Amino acid sequence: MRQILKMVLVLTVLGLVSGLILSLVSNYATPIINENNREAIKEAVFYVLPNTEDYEVKTIEGKEVYVTRDSEGQVNGYGFTASGSGYQGTIELMVGVKPDFKEIQGIQILESSETPGLGGKIRGDNFKNQFRDKDASSGVSLVKSAPTEPGEIEAITGATISSQAVVDIINKGLEHVKNLMEAGGG
């Protein structure tokens, strides 16, 4: 009986002390972590919408849209995050688009665990810069050779699945946010 009591006591005290320490550390770290995340989003917004002076966050049906303004205070675009499955794990992107949703301004990869050297090249400038000022009036599409039509993106050699995933995520995100903005009074 005494042995059982001791076991219960030791585990309870350990649990309590551990909980105390963790809540202290978490109280300290959580604000900094949130700040880091906001900073990362901010950097990505400015990257995908180059002429941005400032932006505000607009939440429609739980989706955050970053409405950006240029130096004259005109709305020059919308930024939003979009994610989907890649070849390995989730790919998360920041997409910047003109207010009429007809032209992509740029994209940035926020998260991806694609194979380094192959799918990992979606992080590279060669791939990302293809989306600069890209016509997207009917979405973007993937081709395996040099693009000839507007809205075409050339796939990375050896990483068609990853390239296709990015294109699909963008198209789905564009559609989704466009509907939200139209419905939610953009």
Partner 1 sequence: MLTDFIKGIWKENPVFVQVLGMCPTLAVTTSLINGLSMGLATTFVLVASGLAISALRKVIPDQVRIASFMIIIASFVTVVKLLFEAHIPTISTQLGPYLPLIVTNCIILGRQEAFASKEPVSRSLMDALGMGLGFAFALVVLGSVRELFYQGTIADVEILGSWYKSMIIMVQPAGAFISLSILVALFKKISSRG
Q: How far is the CB of 91 from partner 1 (least distance, A)?
A: 14
Nearer to partner 1, 88 or 164 (CB): 88
- Closer of 111 and 175 to partner 1 (Cβ): 111
Q: Cα dist. 55→114, 133, 152, 170 in Å?
A: 30, 19, 29, 21
| Residue 159 · residue 85 · CB < 8 Å | no
The DSSP secondary structure of 33-80, one letter per residue, reads HHHHHHHHHHHHHHHHSTT-SEEEEEEETTEEEEEEE-TTS-EEEEEE
CB of 120 to partner 1, least distance (A): 9
Measured from the CB atom, the residue of 30 and 138 that comes closer to partner 1 is 30
For residue 7, give the DSSP letter: H
| Residue among 53 and 111 whose Cβ is closer to partner 1 | 111
Interface positions with partner 1 (CB under 8 A) = 3, 6-7, 10-11, 14-15, 18, 21-22, 25-26, 28-30, 32-33, 36, 40, 111, 113, 115-118
Instruction: Tell me the closest approach of the beta carbon of residue 149 to partner 1, in angstroms.
Output: 32
Can you read off the two tokens belonging to residue 18?
Answer: 């551990």
Is 9 or 57 the residue whose CB approaches partner 1 more closely?
9
User: Strand locations in the chain, DSSP E?
Assistant: 54-60, 63-69, 75-85, 90-97, 103-111, 134-135, 141-143, 152-154
Q: Which amino acid is residue 29, in one-letter code?
A: A
Choice between 2 and 73, CB closer to partner 1: 2
CB of 86 to partner 1, least distance (A): 14
52: exposed, middle or buried (C-beta count within 10 Å: 0-12, 13-18, 19+)? Answer: buried
Nearest-approach distance from CB 26 to partner 1, in angstroms: 6
CB of 126 to partner 1, least distance (A): 15
